[in-house]
Chain A
């Protein structure tokens, strides 16, 4: 009924899954309220936020406010009440409208299916999160063909094709990875990668010639590489992130070289001096550096893990390591060849253990906007995959590699989910910065992936 008017009423509490501060921040962000105004709203036990509006407007505010984390209800109103408490309503109305206008553009564009999705996100305001799993559509035999053609063309062209091969491989994996109803996209320019590789190869050749003739200069260039390493890492992360996109919005990375020098050179050196006691902490710092400087569009990622959690992983590995060493020692006396096999098994177990634990922790601690990631890999399942992959690859002299790669990636992606609260349409693109050409090129040679 067009004439039925509604009041949007806040009931004095935030929705499950939100706390006072996030709700406050959301109000400030989404409705452009001042800090005091937001606090006043949230502290009240009952407040009419929007008065005498028609049904569709009321529903929009209902959705938007629930996304912000406020428990609101729509109550039918009669026009008579209008004058009461008019000031509050007016002040809010103005700011809500300006906030709402920004949201309106994507909302109205959507076709019915999307509106349903929007509605489900709004429903998620009550049950505050929805699960959006990653999907992987690639197959081993498909990738085998791509890989085979890549290898052959690289051989035939004496390596000149290899950048195109790399881009094609990445595009295959990115394009087959879907989430939020869209596929990922890899946009790097192979010509730039080729230039970068040429520079690096040239540098390595010159360096090896010089260092074999005069070892002292060789030593100096090695130190020089150490010095530019942080710069390379930063460029490389920026190159990879900047060339990855989903929904036509690119990722980004803006860590500083100074910070990179700290976490990738200084801390590791300190860790070496402390006999590795600091190693989990250094690992934690590196992950934090990578995540917190990454962004999707203008939205930055947040890393919530603590160093304590990384130490926890290491401590929980002590018992299996102890048991393994004891068993190996026992077999060492009785039947040495078995000790070798047990050693291999232990190596496999530890490899899977650390890989699974750190990956799960990494993703479970990464957030962007109101969304977070959830990784649920299991050590046992991962061991089976790694073991069968390794045996099959070894037996086929490496020809199984494409299937192995696809199997691993599928496992990882099928155990990765976005727990979304809020609107996947609202991410804003960033102005594209041009990363210096040399940086891109060189960094690509020291390819540095986020581990997916």
Chain B
């Protein structure tokens, strides 16, 4: 016979009674009141369900009529329930949680899994998916993005007609080389975005008035265009969206809830990862540009000069460029690092 001390709850009120639950060798279970030994329940062990063991939380025996026996003596409950058919499969989970070597193994595999998916898994999956999506999805996404940017950031371009036609003519050879990509160039006044160029999914490239004015040679703008074409050829915009949603999903899976709220910048590791991805994309686009420049007669130095000028213009950024660690908080690799390859 096994006797377990605990609390008894009838299913009707919140009243709490101290009881002893006795399990006899013939599988009979008797619940008796501690105070006077009165029998409160008498039935077979086979009719009773036990809650699974979980750390040191109270264990409960659920009786068929809805009554409940609550105890802290988890070991005794396990001993009893091993005789019953209702042995929970979650016992294995308890075992996993309480053996040091399993925990160390689990931790190691989790770290390995996290590293692997951030470094390879997510980017590779996103790339595969991005190249499989139908072109219509890319162009719809591009149109939506342009709509939103037009409403929130951009203003209509203030460049005169002549400049625009001149540039379009200048870009023609580059555009003809990429006729399969359905490229489209649009000009916008950058607003907050300032000196900048964007590649949207579906092949739309935006040049801001500010960058056009900053350029001293049309070939400088050609290099920017080719860099952005690099983003489009590699489908970076869509890949970024896919990667971000993968990461968000991973966070959800790991923490179990987004509303965890106690870590208000829980998102920091994710932000760092996203910025890392972004810098990778920039390098990829730079590589595309460099490869392309080798095959035509535009000098890589045009890109170098424009980048330097942008750097100087953005005094705020250039002030920080000396600080190495800020690199991790930037969407682009440091300018000097980028230009290294172009100067050779």
Residues of A bordering B, CB below 8 Å: 105-106, 109-114, 137-138, 142, 145-155, 159, 162, 164-166, 168-169, 171-172, 174-176, 180-183, 185, 212-213, 215, 246-249, 297, 336-337, 347-348, 351, 355, 385-386, 389-390, 393-394, 397-398, 401, 404-405, 407-408, 424-429, 447, 449
Known: A152-B106, A390-B268, A398-B254. A405 touches B14 (CB 8 A): no
- B97 x A425 contact (CB < 8 A): no
Task: Give the docked Cα–Cα distance between A147 and B261 (Å).
Answer: 17
With A and B bound together, what is the CA distance between A159 and B256 in angstroms?
Answer: 12
Q: Which of B97, B136, B319 is in CB contact (< 8 Å) with A149?
A: B97
**B73-88 CB contact bits vs A (8 Å, 1 = yes)?**
0000000000000000
Which chain A residues border B98 with CB–CB below 8 Å? Answer: 145
Q: CA–CA, A215 to B144, complex, Å?
A: 11
| A-B CB contact pairs (8 Å), 17 listed | A110-B35, A111-B18, A164-B93, A168-B54, A182-B58, A247-B15, A248-B70, A347-B264, A394-B268, A394-B269, A398-B251, A398-B254, A401-B254, A404-B263, A405-B255, A426-B15, A429-B13
Task: Contact check, A401 vs B255: say whether CB atoms are below 8 A apart.
Answer: yes
How many B residues touch A, CB cutoff 8 Å? 61
Which 5 pairs, one residue from A and one from B, show the smallest C-beta to C-beta distance?
A175-B57, A248-B9, A408-B262, A106-B15, A427-B14
Inter-chain CA distance A447–B14, complex, in Å, is 27
Residues of B within 8 A of A347 (CB): 264
* With known contacts A111-B18, A181-B16, A426-B14, A151–B110 Cβ distance under 8 A: yes
Query: For residue B320, which residue of chain A has the nearest CB?
Result: A337
Q: Are A164 and B90 in contact (CB under 8 A)?
A: yes
- Centre residue among A142, A181, A407, A426 by max chain B CB count within 10 A: A142
B253 and A154 contacting across the interface, CB-CB below 8 Å = yes
Instruction: A404 to B266: give the CA distance in the assembly, Å.
Output: 10
| Chain B 26-66 near chain A by CB (<8 Å), digits 1 or 0 | 00000001110000000000000001101111101000001
Given A111-B35, A386-B264, verify A425-B15 contact (CB < 8 Å): yes
Q: Is B13 a contact partner of A385 (Cβ separation < 8 A)?
A: no
Min C-beta distance of B15 to chain A, whole Å:
4
Decide: A183 near B256, CB < 8 A? Known: A109-B17, A114-B18, A148-B107. Answer: no
Query: Is residue B103 contacting chain A, with contact meaning CB distance below 8 A?
Result: yes
Report A-chain residues with C-beta under 8 Å of the C-beta of B67: 248
Separation of A239 and B192 alpha carbons in the complex (Å) = 47
Q: How far is the CB of A106 from chain B (nearest CB, A)?
A: 4
Separation in Å of the B52 CB from the closest CB of chain A?
8
Q: Contacts A249-B14, A386-B263, A394-B268 given: A152-B54 contact, CB under 8 Å?
A: no
Q: Which residues of A contact B151 (CB under 8 A)?
A: none
Inter-chain contacts of B10 with A (CB < 8 A): 248
Known: A398-B269, A405-B255, A405-B262. 10 other contacts (CB 8 A): A110-B35, A148-B107, A149-B93, A155-B110, A164-B90, A165-B256, A175-B57, A247-B9, A393-B269, A394-B268
List B residues at the A interface (Cβ < 8 Å). 7, 9-18, 33-35, 51-52, 54-58, 60, 66-68, 70, 90, 93, 96-98, 102-103, 106-107, 109-110, 113-114, 136-137, 140, 251, 253-257, 259-266, 268-269, 316, 319-320
- CB-contact partner of B13 in A146, A153, A185, A428, under 8 A: A428
Contact partners of A146 in chain B: CB under 8 A: 54-55, 97
For A162, give the chain B residue with the smallest CB separation. Answer: B253
The chain B residue sitting closest to A409, CB to CB, is B262
Task: Give the shortest distance, in Å, between A188 (CB) and chain B (any CB).
Answer: 12
- Bound CA span A175–B57, Å: 5
- Contact of A176 with B55 in the complex, beta carbons under 8 Å: yes
Q: Which residue of chain A is the closest to B111 with respect to CB atoms? A: A399
The 8 Å CB contact of A172, one of B54, B268, B316, is B54
- Least CB distance, A140 to chain B, in whole angstroms: 12
Contact B262 A385 (CB under 8 A): yes
Which of A147, A248, A426 gathers most chain B CB within 10 Å? A248
Q: What are the residues of chain B within 8 A of A150 when measuring CB–CB?
A: 256
- A386 and B262 form a contact (CB under 8 A): yes
Please name all residues of chain B whose beta carbon is closer than 8 Å to the beta carbon of A425 when the two chains form the complex: 13-16
Chain A residue numbers with a CB within 8 Å of B136 are: 212-213
Report the Cα distance A389→B260, complex, angstroms. 12
Complexed CA–CA distance, A238 and B109 (Å): 38
Out of A182, A247, A447, which one reaches B257, CB within 8 Å?
A: A447
Most buried by B among A105, A297, A398: A398
* Distance from A156 Cβ to chain B, minimum over Cβ atoms (Å): 9
Q: Contact check, B55 vs A390: say whether CB atoms are below 8 A apart.
A: no
Residue of B nearest to A165 (CB): B256
Contacts A182-B16, A185-B60, A401-B254 hold; do A351 and B264 have CB atoms under 8 A apart?
yes
A330 vs B266: C-alpha distance when bound (angstroms) = 29
B55 → A minimal CB distance (Å): 5
Q: Of the candidates B9, B12, B93, B316, which one forms a contact with A153 in the assembled complex, judged by CB atoms under 8 Å apart?
A: B93
In the complex, what residues of B have CB within 8 A of residue A397's CB? Answer: 114, 269
Note all chain A residues with C-beta closer than 8 A to B266. Answer: 390, 393-394, 398, 401
Chain A residues with Cβ under 8 A from B103's Cβ?
Answer: 145, 148-149
CA distance A142 to B53 in the complex (A): 13
Give CA–CA (A155, B107) in the complex, Å: 13
The minimal Cβ–Cβ distance linking B325 to chain A, given in whole angstroms, is 12
User: How far is B15's CA from A425's CA once the two chains are assembled, in angstroms?
Assistant: 4
**Contacting residues, chain A, for B90 (C-beta < 8 A):** 164, 168
Whether the Cβ atoms of B58 and A183 lie closer than 8 Å is yes
Given the known interface contacts A146-B55, A152-B109, the answer about A248 and B11 at a Cβ–Cβ threshold of 8 Å is: yes
B35 engages A249 (CB within 8 Å): no
Out of B33, B256, B262, name the residue touching A109 (CB < 8 Å).
Answer: B33
B96: A residues at CB distance < 8 A = 149, 153
Residues of A within 8 A of B93 (CB): 149, 153, 164, 168
Partner of B14, one of A113, A162, A247, A337: A247
Complex Cα spacing A181 to B256, Å: 29
The answer to whether A355 touches B261 (Cβ under 8 A) is: yes
Q: Do residues B253 and A109 form an inter-chain contact, with CB atoms below 8 A? A: no
Give bound CA distance, A148 to B268, whole Å: 21
Neighbouring A residues of B107 by C-beta, 8 Å: 148
Instruction: Determine how close the nearest CB of chain B comes to the CB of A385; give it in whole angstroms.
Output: 7
- A169 close to B264 (CB less than 8 A): no
When distances are taken between beta carbons in the complex, the residues of chain A under 8 Å from B51 are: 171, 185
* Contact partner, A183, options B57, B140, B251, B269, Cβ 8 Å: B57
Most A CB contacts (10 A, CB to CB) among B55, B68, B268, B320 go to: B55
